[in-house]
């Protein structure tokens, strides 16, 4: 199995569509056997879904993600675990132990202004990244 995490500075990056790097984890018999930081060439849900397919990814752990990306990933057969946050390595370990803290209903449904990302949100920022 191969797991990908939206990745920035050791943490789960919070906006799938703007992800610049995925960290991938190859898992055999429940153990991580290889990790790689994989820079992305392109952005947007179609390009990123295609990138994950090319890397033979089975599972994606991420923060915010829009409806179009959800559809693209589902069409590619990639299992999605959105609404996760924190350290990427710890999230994958938790996933392997069936203890990942995520929200399957997390949706990022706004357009981003110049210089703004979902990862900059706090609970009072007024933007529409939400857990539906």
Domain borders along the chain are 2-131
Nearest Cα to Cα of residue 41 among 56, 61, 19: 19
Q: What is the pLDDT of residues 70-122, one digit of tens each?
A: 998 999 999 999 999 999 999 999 999 999 999 988 876 554 444 434 433 33
Please state, in angstroms and rounded to a whole number, the distance separating the CA atoms of residues 93 and 91.
5
Taking the C-alpha atoms of residue 13 and residue 130, their distance in angstroms, rounded to an integer, is: 16
How far is the CA of 46 from the CAs of 11, 27, 75, 84, 127, in angstroms? 23, 25, 11, 21, 24
**Average pLDDT of the chain?**
83
Please tell me the distance from the alpha carbon of residue 75 to that of residue 52, in angstroms, as a whole number: 12
Domain 2-131: give its CATH code. 3.30.420.130
């Amino acid at each position: 199995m191969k797991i990908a995490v939206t990745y920035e500075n050791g943490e789960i990056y919070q906006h799938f569509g703007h992800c610049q790097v995925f960290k991938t984890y190859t898992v055999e018999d429940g153990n991580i056997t290889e990790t790689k930081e994989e820079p992305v060439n392109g952005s947007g849900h179609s390009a990123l879904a295609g990138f994950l397919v090319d890397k033979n990814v089975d599972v994606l752990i991420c923060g915010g993600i829009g409806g179009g990306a959800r559809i693209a990933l589902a069409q590619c057969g990639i299992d999605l675990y959105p609404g996760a946050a924190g350290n990427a390595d710890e999230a994958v370990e938790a996933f392997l132990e069936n203890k990942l803290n995520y929200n399957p209903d997390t949706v990022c449904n706004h357009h981003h202004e110049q210089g703004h990302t979902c990862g900059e949100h706090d609970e009072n920022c007024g933007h529409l990244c939400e857990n539906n």
